[in-house]
A and B are shown apart, each in its own frame.
Chain A
Amino acid sequence: MALVLLWQLASSTGVLPPEKLASPLTVAQSAGELIADGQLLDAFTVSLGRVFFGFLIGAAVGGASGLVSGLSRWGETLLDPPVQMLRTLPHLGLIPLFILWFGIGEEPKLALVASGVAFPLYLNLHAGIRQTDPGLVEAARVLGYSRFERVVHVVLPSAVPQTLVGLRIALGTAWLSLIVGEQINADAGLGFLINNAREFLRTDVVVVGLVVYALLGLTTDALVRVLERRILRWRTR
């Protein structure tokens, strides 16, 4: 709050010229305008859609491969070494490849988000499954539970906490990937709004876009936290 006041003061006194950074009041004003003429909502919807579908694809890929390599020996032999190798590479470095493969439309943006999601989910799900206490699995075995039932009742539930950690990292990465991805020739979405504003030196609109990015990130993070608290109620100590 104090920071915003200081910022407004700096802008009003001319220390901070509007072409470097618009004043909070201007920002709020243009936010109002962007909301009123629907531009912000459109951009927001497009960006949210990208994160959503990118996330779905990434979660499906990361989740499925995490399950396969966590639950089966051959799956681990097959999947884990290449994934462990690839994960040392920051996925944002894949942009040039994605552009070559998918062009400059929606696909590379989705692919970027998806790859940002798939890795943390895979790694944490796999680790979570492998960390299952063999003693619990044994106890279920003596109670007559089949292998499938043991996976459902013991292995997967015990992988949940670690998977939620992965989910939170994945969502953070998803927003990061979106922001970077939308710098590639975006023709719609928050990235487009920001890039466009930059061309016209509209720092107020740039700031509005950034604030929306930040709010979105915070919101999803808070959602996961709530989810965590609900699902992990048993970890009361």
Chain B
Amino acid sequence: MANPVSVRGLHKAFGARTVLDGIDLEIAPGEFVALLGRSGCGKSTLLRILAGLDRDVEGAAEVQGTVSIAFQQPRLLPWRKVWRNIALGLHRPDGRSVALKALEEVRLAGHADAWPLTLSGGEAQRVSLARALVREPDLLLLDEPFGALDALTRLAMHHLVEDLWAEHRPAVLLVTHDVDEALLLADRVLVLDEGRIVAEHHVDLPRPRRRASVVEQRTRVLADLGVDVETAA
């Protein structure tokens, strides 16, 4: 099976400003990759390119199979009930039963007939995740989907994402600012800086992982991000 993501020599510029400057990236089927990098370094730009939302690029960015994306905001259609938002990802008439199953998976079975505006932030984000997963994607792109959530909800979402990934096995590219999040969830952690991937860490720890088990790698990843832990702590 071809790799869901195969990027070679990708360049992207907005006018005179180069944002991505020679990206090479392969993601294997079922692989969980996290992408770290400071704000404005081009993470979302890369994801948008992979999602097919931006085709004005140089170099090759090939994506195989079905792609889904969950954004930082849930981006639900407020005038459609929750289950219809999920069915939106299906293009099929028998949407309801499939949507209900997906809702159950994100532990929102009781909210099928709710209006999106009545959901809490975490619930809406889970619906958005269900909408992305219901298509059984080969590649799941997650652009800081937990960024706006409180710490406890975030923790619950980590478990949820890990379970869903174990269940469906899409390749995942997760953009995050949170080093712990990256190390807890991903097989591989990439650091993007100045438009290039400047560091790569393989995380060969058994799952589910605990915060304590990733402390050592955390220091090294933070160093790649330009944070000196000794002075920062």
Residues of A within 8 A of B (CB): 133, 135-136, 138-144, 153-154, 157-158, 160, 233-237
Contact = CB atoms under 8 A, between A and B. Distances in A.
B164 interface: no
A234 B77 CA distance: 10
A234 B79 contact: yes
Interface string B83-116: 0000011010000000000000000000000011
Nearest to A137: B75
A136 B77 contact: yes
Interface residues of B, number: 22
B78 A140 contact: no
Contacts of A236: 115, 117-118
Interface of B: 51-53, 67-69, 71, 73, 75, 77-80, 88-89, 91, 115-118, 131, 135
Chain B contact residues: over half helix, strand or loop, or mixed? loop
14 contacts: A133-B75, A135-B75, A138-B75, A140-B88, A141-B53, A142-B52, A142-B68, A143-B89, A154-B77, A157-B79, A160-B79, A233-B115, A235-B117, A237-B118
A141 B88 CA distance: 11
Nearest to A154: B77
Nearest to B85: A139
B67 A142 contact: yes
A91 to B, nearest CB: 32
Contact of A142 (B53, B116, B117): B53
B53 A138 contact: yes
A144 B132 CA distance: 12
B77 A142 contact: no
Nearest to B114: A236
Contacts of B71: 135, 139
A234 B117 contact: yes
The 8 closest A-B pairs by CB, nearest first: A139-B75, A234-B115, A234-B79, A157-B79, A135-B75, A142-B51, A142-B69, A143-B89
